[in-house]
Amino acid sequence: MRVLFVCSGNICRSPTAEAMFRALIEERGLSGEIEVDSAGTGSWHVGSPPDERSARAARARGIELSGRARQVEPSDFERFDVLVAMDASHAAELQALAPAEMAAKVRLLREFDPEAVAAGDTDVPDPYYGGPDGFEHVLDVVEAGTRGLMEEVGGTR
Hey, which residues are catalytic here?
Answer: 7, 13, 126
Residue 95 CB contacts under 8 Å (≥ 6 apart), including other chains: 103, 106
Going by C-alpha positions, the residue among 64, 62, 53, 68 that lies closest to residue 138 is 53
User: Position 70: which residue type?
Assistant: R
Bridge-partner residues for 71, per DSSP? 40
In whole angstroms, give the CA distance from residue 125 to residue 129.
11
Is 127 within 8 Å of 156 (Cβ atoms)?
no
d(CA 147, CA 119): 18
